Amino acid sequence: MIIGQITDFHVTTPGGEADRRYRTAEHLEAAVAHLNALAVRPDVVVATGDLVDGGTVEEYQRLRRLLEPLTMPVYLIPGNHDDRANLRTVFSDHSYLPREGPFLHYAVEDHPLRLLALDTVVPGEIGGALCEARLAWIEARLTAAPPRPTFVFMHHPPFRTGVGWSDGAAGLGGADPFGETVSRHPEIERIVCGHVHRPIQAHWRGTVASTAPATAHQLVLALGPASKIAAVMEPPACQLHLWAARRGRGQPHQLHWRVRDALRRLNPTGSCGSHWGAPRPPRRAFWSR
């Protein structure tokens, strides 16, 4: 089974700030075309939050039009830029989304891997949380049926990334009790996240956890406690998670990282930044090499 992961689209209405600065809608359109054009396409796609930038109905309607060409099922979860009610309204025909209740978390049992989607949103906050109610829901889903290989996806990473802002106020509350749950469930093959706009991998609580690059703008790699959030036009990408049933001591899971071919069409010089009509990004010299 191949799971495609795309994340942090930050779609706005036409002319919105993210649209002007980073061309987020155009980048998502290219990401969708890229996934559809792969020689071996993902069986499903998961979108790990910050689907739109301002959480408005109009933004979700634009997002819906942009995702429609995908030829495989797509599963959505919210990030800190999302609005649960508006997401639920515009995607009301996405039957996996719970129709009621405070959280947009769900389990999908239709595939060789169980998909477990977690909602880490705390409205109005950059950081996220897994509160007692959400932790209880996760435990119940994992214990309700006999264990089967499980793929968890969520917006905020539960592990320490080394990037100060992500490990501080913009991090995940409840990560420790969630980690205790994860340690008790070796059937969790992987935990994949967004939020950081960068690819990071960690061995965490007996499984592998990762974040993915965003489909448009990335965030500057700034290790250390004093790091600040700053956007940079490093290449957008998606991740492909290839999973095969474990045989003996075989390797069950591989991660493939695809820098989108479409970037070259959007930016044929290969020199990110000058193309965007925005102030020169801080790392332009790096990409000009």
Residue closer to Fe ion, measured from CB, 29 or 82: 82
Q: Rounded CA gap, 113 and 229, in Å?
A: 34
| 53 lines the binding site for Fe ion (CB under 5 A) | no
- Piece of 8-16, 150-158, 202-210, 249-257 that binds Fe ion (CB under 5 A): 8-16
Residue closer to Fe ion, measured from CB, 8 or 119: 8
Q: Rounded CA gap, 148 and 181, in Å?
A: 15
- Piece of 45-53, 91-99, 116-124, 181-189 that binds Fe ion (CB under 5 A): 45-53
> Min. distance of Cβ 50 from Fe ion in angstroms?
3
- Piece of 49-57, 145-153, 171-179, 264-272 that binds Fe ion (CB under 5 A): 49-57
| 8 lines the binding site for Fe ion (CB under 5 A) | yes
Query: Given candidates 19, 29, 50, 82, which one binds Fe ion under the rule CB under 5 A?
Result: 50
Helices (H) and strands (E) in the chain, counts: 9, 15
Residue closer to Fe ion, measured from CB, 57 or 126: 126
Q: What is the CA radius of gyration of the chain?
A: 18
Residue count at the site for Fe ion (CB under 5 A)?
A: 2
Q: Which helix (H) or strand (E) holds 20?
A: helix 17-22
> Min. distance of Cβ 246 from Fe ion in angstroms?
33
Please give the backbone phi and psi of residue 44, each rounded to the nearest 5 degrees, phi first.
Answer: -145, 165
Residue closer to Fe ion, measured from CB, 8 or 83: 8
> Min. distance of Cβ 116 from Fe ion in angstroms?
21
Give every CB contact of residue 212 below 8 A, 6+ residues apart in sequence: 5, 6, 7, 48, 192, 193, 194, 199, 237, 238, 239
Longest Cα–Cα distance of the chain, Å, equals 54
Residues 62-91 that bind Fe ion (CB under 5 A): none
CA of 160: how far to CAs of 128, 156, 173, 209, 219, in Å?
Answer: 14, 11, 12, 10, 16
Cα-Cα-Cα-Cα dihedral of 64, 66, 69, 71, to 10°?
-70
Residue closer to Fe ion, measured from CB, 167 or 189: 167
> Min. distance of Cβ 127 from Fe ion in angstroms?
13
Residue closer to Fe ion, measured from CB, 18 or 35: 18
| Contact between residue 238 and residue 192 where contact means Cβ atoms under 8 Å apart | no
- Piece of 42-50, 114-122, 136-144, 229-237 that binds Fe ion (CB under 5 A): 42-50
DSSP conformation class of 41: -
| 59 lines the binding site for Fe ion (CB under 5 A) | no
Residue closer to Fe ion, measured from CB, 10 or 105: 10
Residue closer to Fe ion, measured from CB, 48 or 150: 48
Residues 228-247 that bind Fe ion (CB under 5 A): none
Q: Any alpha helices (H) in 144-195, and if so which ranges?
A: 164-167, 175-183
CA of 281: how far to CAs of 23, 86, 197, 278, 285, in Å?
Answer: 15, 33, 16, 8, 9
Residue 208: strand pairing partners: 190, 203
> Min. distance of Cβ 60 from Fe ion in angstroms?
16
- Piece of 47-55, 98-106, 179-187, 258-266 that binds Fe ion (CB under 5 A): 47-55
Q: Which parts of this chain interact with Fe ion (CB under 5 A)?
A: 8, 50
